[in-house]
């Protein structure tokens, strides 16, 4: 299924199911969540990105232990937020689980 923003990008989805829920001029905020799963179906800690200038203490107090949380201007994943997740959440998770490096 082609992405609505580009004819060059493909999205894997169940046939006949809507993948995108988009609207223009919406007052809704964006939240992005990164899931990292291995071939055995085991999840690494998640990363959730919020559209905030300052992260609220309510959000920080309710994030499950070990999960990553971040903020960007639009609530979307950026190169910087991905790097921070890998360096501060994913690599420590791999070391804690004694997973041999490198990983793909």
Strand segments, DSSP code E, in 1-104 are 2-3, 6-10, 31-34, 47-51, 68-72
Better pLDDT: 84 or 30: 84
Residue 16 has pLDDT above 80, yes or no: no
Summarised one tens digit per residue, pLDDT across range 35-74 is 988 888 889 999 999 888 888 888 888 888 888 898 888 8
Tokens of 89: 């959440």
Sheet holding 68-72, edge to edge: 31-34, 47-51, 68-72
- What is the distance of C-alpha 37 from the center of its chain? 12
Global pTM? 0.66
């Amino acid at each position: 299924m082609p992405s609505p923003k580009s004819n060059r990008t493909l999205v894997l989805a169940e046939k006949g199911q809507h993948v995108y829920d988009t609207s223009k001029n919406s007052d809704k905020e964006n939240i992005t969540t990164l899931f990292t799963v291995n071939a055995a179906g085991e999840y690494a800690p998640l990363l959730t990105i919020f559209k905030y200038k300052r992260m609220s203490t309510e959000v920080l107090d309710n994030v499950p232990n070990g999960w990553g949380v971040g903020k960007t201007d639009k609530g979307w994943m950026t190169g910087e937020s991905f790097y921070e997740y890998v360096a501060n959440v994913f690599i420590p998770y791999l070391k804690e689980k004694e997973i041999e490096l490198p990983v793909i």
